[in-house]
Every structure is written in structure tokens, then in C-alpha cells.
Structure 1
Amino acid sequence: MKTVPLFDVNLLGDVFTERQSRNLRAGKTLFQLVTKGAKSLNAAAIWMDAASSVMDCIGAYLRYQQAKEITEQLESQKEALDKQIENCQKILQVEQQVWQEEQQNRLEALDAILRRDRQSSVQLLHVISGYRNSIDFLFVELTKIRHKPHARTPELLALVNSVDKLMQAQLSCLVAAFDEPNP
């Protein structure tokens, strides 16, 4: 395929072309034929006009071939661009599928973390409720012992202090467990 410039710039050709001059000569010849008859016509001028018409026809054919070549080049460029767009769309679809799969994997991982956190929270609450029952039992027993006469012994005071410390430790563990983010 030969390379033809896509856009020709002809500044002087737009002012007065060969076709316009040929049309002007043909008009003069027709005017002479009508006004003066066939005797006044110059045969050489008619042959020259016919030759210039043939040359103009050849020029028009060459311009047609050039336009045809330019059209073929533009069509091949269009096909290449269409193929490139199609390939880019395929790449975009593949990337979109990869992103969707990654998003699905992230959602599944997040769901698993949330389930694990929920299960650990439930287990922690069960353990704490078991400890709470033990502490409640200790408080009930301590109140029974306090109501008895002669209950103010140093051992009882140490037991009360120990139960209070146990309750504070349990509350601080509970607060720490729910405030810390899980890794």
C-alpha cells in the first residue's frame, strides 16, 4: 500500500483552477459558434480544448484514485482502532472480574472476622456469667455471715476485700475485652 498524504493544501488552486479556465474557453467557443457560425471557430483551439478536457479527466481520475487510497488508509486505521478498543474492553472486563472477586474475598474475610468476634464475645459473656454466679454466691454467703453475731473477724474482712478485688478485676477485664480491637 503506498502512502498518500491525507490532507492536501492547495492555496493557489482554490483561486482559479484549470477546470474553471476550460469552462471559460468552452463558453467562449459556444458564444462564437452561436454568434458567428462554424466558420469563425479555430480548429486548433477546439483540439486544444479537447486535449485539456482529456487532461482534466485524467487529473480527475488520479484525484479519485488518491481519494480511494486515502479512504482505504482511513478504513485500515479505523479497523486497527476498533481492534484496539475491543482489546481494551476485554482487558477492562477481566480487571472488573478480578476486582469483583477481590471484593467478594474481602467481604467473606470480614464476615469471618465478625463471626469469630461474635462467637468470642458470646463465649466471654458465658464465662463472665459463670464467674458472676460464683461471685453472687460469695456475696450471698458473706451477707449471711455478716448477719451472724461475732462476724467481725480479720479473716472475714480479708475475704470481703478479696471478693471486692475479684469484682473489680472482673469488671476491668470485661471493659478491656470489649474496648480492645481484635487482631
Structure 2
Amino acid sequence: MKVVELFDFGFDNIASDRVKRSTRLGKAAYVLFRQGASKVNPVAIWMDSVLAVMDAANSYMAYKQEEEITKQLKYELSSLRQVLSNLEKQLKIEKEILEKESEYRISQFDAQLKKMSSNNVQLLREIGEARVSIDTLIKVVRNLRQNPLKNALALKDLENSLDNLLLSQLQCLVQSLDEN
């Protein structure tokens, strides 16, 4: 592939030989029409025709140069379109991966919430079942309080244990309600 200057504006050819030759050709045509063929110099006409052929060859070369530039630009455009297509495919794949990851995370969070919810329900059920035994224990403590002289030391230990049990039960309830 040829390397061609993409942005060659050609300001150096503003007053080129083409303009000068066109002026001479106009003068020669004027002399030819005005005075006839006898006053026109054949060498000048031959030189003008040679210059015209050279100008045509120069124009053809400029055309080919512009054609090569167009070809290179089209090639660059096609390569940029391919890069864009590849980037779009990559972006689509990354989007699908992110969607699948987010679906997986959401399902994991849902599973954790269900597990925590079932754990809380189970904890509340166990506390409710323990509540029945605590109620019977409270009744026993009330009966022992009515006879304070018998087993006073055992009554104190039983009251402390009952208070600790009630306190831990309340803490479990508050914690499970805070998590919900």
C-alpha cells in the first residue's frame, strides 16, 4: 500500500504553470482569430500542447493520489467498524455476565433471608415452648415464697436462675425482632 499525505492542500500551486499556460493559450487563440494562422508561432502551439498533455498527466496523477487516499480512508473506516462491532459484542457479553451475577446474588440474599426468617420463627417457637416450663417454674417459686422458712437458700438460687432465664429470653426476643 502506498503512503499518501492525507492532508496535502497544495497551496504552493495557486499561481501555477497551468494558469500561466492558460493565459498564453488565450493570447494565442486571440492572435489566431484576429490575424490568422500566419502570425501564430507553431513552436509555441506545440509547446502549449506538450504542456497541456503534461498538465493532463499531472491531473491524472493527482486523481490517482486522491483515489488512493479514499481507498485508505475506506479501509480505515472498515477497520474502525470492525473494532466497534467487537467492542459492542464484548459489552454485550459483559452485560450478560453482570446480569447473571446480580441474579445469583439476589437468589443468595433471598435464601439467606428465608433461612434467617425460618431461624427466627424456630427461635420464637422454642421460646414459646420454654415459656410453658417457665410458667410452671414461676408457680413453684410462688409456692416456695409462701413458706419462706423452708429452703430459703434454694429459693434464692431458684429466683436468681429464674431472673437470668427471663432476662436471656427477653434479649433473644428483642434481638430476633430487631433482625426482622
TM-score by length of 2: 0.84
Give the equivalent residue in structure 2 for 1:133. 132
| Runs (4+) off by over 6 Å | none
Q: How far apart, in 2, do the equivalents of 1:126 and 1:107 lie? A: 28
TM-score by length of 1: 0.83
Report the Cα offset of residue 52 of structure 1.
0.8
Report the Cα offset of residue 157 of structure 1.
4.6
Report the Cα offset of residue 169 of structure 1.
2.6
Q: How far apart, in 1, do the equivalents of 2:9 and 2:66 lie? A: 14
Moved more, 130-139 or 82-91: 130-139
Q: How far apart, in 1, do the equivalents of 2:160 and 2:72 lie? A: 97
Give the equivalent residue in structure 2 for 1:113. 112
Give the equivalent residue in structure 1 for 2:161. 162
Whether 1:29 and 2:3 are equivalent positions in the alignment is no
Q: How far apart, in 2, do the equivalents of 1:66 and 1:137 lie? A: 106
Q: Over residues 81-105 of structure 1, what are the superposed CA-to-partner deviations in whole Å (9 max), with x where a residue is unaligned? A: 1111111111111111111111111
Report the Cα offset of residue 158 of structure 1.
4.2
Q: How far apart, in 1, do the equivalents of 2:34 and 2:9 lie? A: 41
Report the Cα offset of residue 68 of structure 1.
1.0
Residue correspondence of structure 1 range 1-183 to structure 2 within 5 A: 1-8=1-8, 10-14=10-14, 16-143=15-142, 145=143, 151-153=147-149, 154=152, 155-175=154-174
Question: Which amino acid in structure 1 is aligned with residue 115 of structure 2?
Answer: R
Flag the structure with higher helix content. 2
* Structure 1 pair 157–151 and aligned structure 2 pair: CA distance change class (3 A): farther
Moved more, 39-48 or 60-69: 39-48
Moved more, 23-32 or 48-57: 23-32
Q: How far apart, in 1, do the equivalents of 2:133 and 2:33 lie? A: 133
Q: How far apart, in 2, do the equivalents of 1:156 and 1:68 lie? A: 109
| Paired residue secondary structure (2:12) | coil
Moved more, 26-35 or 59-68: 26-35
| Paired residue secondary structure (1:6) | coil
Report the Cα offset of residue 12 of structure 1.
2.4
Moved more, 31-40 or 60-69: 31-40
Report the Cα offset of residue 156 of structure 1.
4.2
Report the Cα offset of residue 122 of structure 1.
0.6
**Structure 1: runs of 5+ lacking an equivalent:** none
**Structure 2: runs of 5+ lacking an equivalent:** none
Question: Which amino acid in structure 2 is aligned with residue 130 of structure 1?
Answer: E
